[in-house]
């Protein structure tokens, strides 16, 4: 058992039947172990997910990742049921091989998403709400869907930023090693004078819109019960009250800290590599973001000077006769340059900066995901060591006449072992998806910027090219030798 858990690099293609059978025979795990798990006890989603796999064969979104997730809510029972149907025939795809398949068909998955888009969400219409205690902004969230789990095909609700925060934290709780797209920040440090400044609200609205769309495109997260509630419930407050309370979350954090202090014994190499990548990526994307901000700053200063440059030519033209025309020609070119520079700045701020910023936040999300994965593994290792030392003690005392076996501890360890495997596989699957998404998003932002810059130069030179003075008043015929 211990060996199985420690062979990190390989995929577990087929879950070995041994331990699971044992677990199955033993019964349920204790309630205490569920506190730190990915999935929530109260979650109904897993039941739904489970039932869906039998009826909706064509929905390949419900990959093994979901089935893996489904395991925990019902303890190991559902896992056994996963491996074979009630009538004994094996499930169409075993979880393990599905994971493989899922990992290899990363590109196809994108297309499947595109083809199967059945959930359309928009965030718009920010409105100020004033109460006795506070003022805040409510955004309208509109949903159109053909999914059968939704009672209606259209929904319109109003949500505030806090509601988005709630949604995201629930999603992260339930899927600690999935990569949940980040939300725009609570507030921007620099240059923020007024919280309800129009630009700030618009930037936030766009980011919230992107957030919900990213979730809706995620093969697992989009089926989250919390997500559905967020999109459909008239009033969110009652739903917010459910779920693990503050104390349980505290407990989780304490354990996480304890585990991280203890350190990981043997992190699988692929996750070490992933960790390194995340660190590097975070540095690089932050740098690109900084460079872009700096470019905008320089462009703005350039624009300020340009605005004084054109009038200088115009003023000169006023004193001249023959030269008035070419001077005005240059003046109009400089004016055009001003206008286009302004647009270029706008484009950078609206397209490239938000895209880069999103991935700066993503990098932080990735770091958190890696930490959580590590914690899950650390927790398992701690329990596993405890078990091993217990056995040593017991063996020493009781020798080999009868083996005293701590069933409960063994079960706990096995449960944690499964949890680690689930977490790792979930992350691996989502990792590829995220990498592709990152590549697509940033590629498109860079291309858009390059196109805008090409357009900029074309537009700046066009008044000169069409200016009749420069066209006609060329110099005398050239001497061709």
Partner 1 sequence: MRMMMADSGSNEEVAVIGNTDITPAESENNIINTVVPLVALCDRNILRFKLPMVERGTALLRKMEISVAEAEKRMGKNTVNIQETYTVYLVETRPAETVPEGGTPAAPDTLWRRYSEFELLRTYLLVTYPYIIIPPLPEKRAEFVWHKLSADNLDPDFVERRRVGLENFLLRVASHAVLSKDKIFFLFLTEEKGWREAVLETGFQDKADSRLKSLSAMFRVKNPDKRFTALKQYSDELNTVISQLLRVRARVADRLYGVYKVHGNYGRVFSEWSAIEKEMGDGLQSAGHHMDTYATSIDDILEEEEHYADQLKEYLFYTDAVRSVCRKHELIQYELEIAAQDLAYKKQQKEELVTGTVRVFSLKGMTSKLFGQESQEQRESRLAALEQSIQEGEESLKEKNRECQEFVRTAWEDIERFKEQKDKDLREALISYAIMQISMCKKGVQVWSNAKECFNKM
Which residues are near partner 1 by CB under 8 A? 277, 280-281, 284-285, 287-288, 291, 294-295, 298-299, 301-302, 304-306, 308-309, 312-313, 315-316, 319, 322-323, 326-327, 329-330, 333, 439, 442-443, 446-447, 450-451, 453-454, 456-458, 460-461, 464-465, 467, 470-471, 473-481
Cα–Cα distance, 256 to 379 (Å, whole number): 8
Helix (H, G, I), strand (E, B) or coil at 1: coil
Name the CA radius of gyration of the chain, rounded. 30
Report the interhelical angle of 45-55 vs 64-73 (nearest 10°): 140
Nearer to partner 1, 409 or 432 (CB): 432
Nearer to partner 1, 140 or 307 (CB): 307
Measuring CA to CA, which residue among 385, 367, 381 is closest to residue 179?
367
Nearer to partner 1, 153 or 453 (CB): 453
Shortest Cβ distance from residue 49 to partner 1 (Å)? Answer: 32
Measuring CA to CA, which residue among 142, 145, 136 is closest to residue 209?
142
Shortest Cβ distance from residue 474 to partner 1 (Å)? Answer: 4
Buried b (16+ CB within 10 A) or exposed e, 456-473: beeebeebeeebeebeee
Nearer to partner 1, 54 or 108 (CB): 108
Nearer to partner 1, 55 or 479 (CB): 479
Nearer to partner 1, 230 or 313 (CB): 313
Shortest Cβ distance from residue 475 to partner 1 (Å)? Answer: 4
Shortest Cβ distance from residue 419 to partner 1 (Å)? Answer: 30
Shortest Cβ distance from residue 369 to partner 1 (Å)? Answer: 18
Nearer to partner 1, 137 or 432 (CB): 432
Nearer to partner 1, 54 or 298 (CB): 298
Lookup: tokens for 317: 């033209």
Shortest Cβ distance from residue 442 to partner 1 (Å)? Answer: 8
Cα–Cα distance, 21 to 310 (Å, whole number): 82
Shortest Cβ distance from residue 281 to partner 1 (Å)? Answer: 7
Shortest Cβ distance from residue 104 to partner 1 (Å)? Answer: 15
Using an 8 Å Cβ cutoff, are 3 and 16 in contact?
Answer: no
Q: Checking DSSP bridges between strand 135-145 and strand 119-130, what pairing results, if any?
A: antiparallel
Nearer to partner 1, 88 or 477 (CB): 477
Shortest Cβ distance from residue 470 to partner 1 (Å)? Answer: 5
Shortest Cβ distance from residue 54 to partner 1 (Å)? Answer: 37
Lookup: tokens for 262: 């203890």
Nearer to partner 1, 140 or 452 (CB): 452
Nearer to partner 1, 55 or 468 (CB): 468
Measuring CA to CA, which residue among 173, 167, 177 is closest to residue 215?
167
Nearer to partner 1, 145 or 467 (CB): 467
Lookup: tokens for 260: 């991280």
Long-range CB contacts for residues 74-78, cutoff 8 Å, separation at least 24: 74/46, 74/50, 75/28, 75/29, 75/415, 76/20, 76/23, 76/24, 76/28, 76/29, 76/415, 76/418, 77/24, 77/28, 78/46, 78/50
Burial class (CB in 10 A: 0-12, 13-18, 19+), 192: exposed
Residue 247's contacts (CB-CB under 8 Å, 6 or more residues apart) are: none
Cα–Cα distance, 72 to 415 (Å, whole number): 9
Shortest Cβ distance from residue 374 to partner 1 (Å)? Answer: 21
Cα–Cα distance, 226 to 174 (Å, whole number): 10
Give the CA distances from residue 469 to residues 242, 321, 327, 463, 477, in Å, rounded to whole numbers and listed in that order: 75, 14, 10, 11, 17
DSSP run (H or E) holding 121: strand 119-130
Shortest Cβ distance from residue 355 to partner 1 (Å)? Answer: 13
């Amino acid at each position: 058992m211990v060996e199985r858990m420690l062979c990190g690099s390989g995929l577990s293609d087929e879950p070995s039947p041994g331990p699971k059978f044992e677990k199955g025979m033993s019964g349920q795990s204790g309630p205490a172990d569920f506190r730190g798990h990915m999935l929530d006890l109260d979650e109904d989603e897993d039941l739904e997910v489970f039932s869906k796999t039998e009826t909706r064969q064509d929905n390949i979104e419900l990959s093994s990742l979901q089935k893996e997730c489904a395991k925990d809510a019902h303890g190991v029972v559902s896992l056994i049921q996963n491996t074979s149907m009630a009538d004994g025939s094996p499930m169409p795809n075993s979880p393990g091989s599905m994971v493989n398949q899922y990992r290899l068909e990363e590109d196809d998955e994108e297309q499947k998403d595109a083809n199967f888009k059945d959930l359309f969400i928009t965030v718009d219409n920010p409105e100020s709400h004033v109460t006795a205690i506070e003022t805040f902004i409510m955004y309208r969230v509109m949903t159109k869907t053909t999914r059968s789990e939704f009672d209606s095909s259209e929904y319109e609700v109003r949500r505030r930023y806090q509601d988005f925060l709630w949604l995201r934290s629930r999603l992260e709780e339930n899927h600690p090693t999935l990569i949940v797209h980040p939300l725009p920040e609570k507030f921007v440090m620099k240059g923020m004078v007024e919280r309800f400044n129009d630009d700030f609200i618009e930037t936030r609205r766009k980011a919230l819109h992107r957030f919900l769309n990213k979730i809706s495109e995620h093969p697992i997260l989009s089926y989250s019960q919390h997500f559905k509630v967020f999109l459909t419930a008239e009033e969110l407050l009652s739903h917010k009250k459910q779920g693990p309370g503050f104390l349980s979350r505290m407990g989780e954090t304490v354990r996480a800290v304890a585990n991280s202090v203890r350190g990981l014994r043997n992190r699988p190499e692929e996750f070490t590599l992933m960790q390194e990548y995340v660190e590097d990526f975070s540095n690089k994307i932050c740098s690109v973001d900084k460079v872009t901000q700096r470019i905008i700053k320089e462009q703005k200063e350039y624009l300020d000077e340009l605005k004084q440059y054109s009038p200088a030519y115009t003023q000169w033209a006023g004193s001249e006769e023959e030269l008035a025309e070419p001077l005005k020609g240059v003046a109009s070119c400089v004016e055009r340059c001003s206008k286009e520079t302004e647009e270029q700045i706008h484009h950078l701020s609206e397209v490239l900066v938000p895209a880069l910023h999103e991935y700066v936040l993503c990098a932080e999300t990735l770091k958190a995901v890696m930490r959580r994965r590590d914690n899950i593994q650390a927790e398992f290792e701690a329990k596993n060591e405890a078990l091993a030392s217990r056995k040593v003690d017991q063996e020493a005392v009781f020798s080999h006449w009868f083996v005293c076996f701590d069933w409960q501890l063994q079960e706990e360890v096995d449960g944690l072992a499964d949890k680690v495997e689930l977490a790792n596989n979930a992350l691996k699957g989502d990792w590829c998806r995220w990498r592709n998404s990152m590549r697509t998003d940033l590629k498109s932002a860079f291309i858009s910027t390059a196109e805008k810059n090409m357009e900029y130069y074309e537009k700046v030179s066009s008044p000169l090219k069409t200016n009749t003075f420069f066209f006609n008043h060329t110099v005398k015929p050239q001497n061709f030798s």
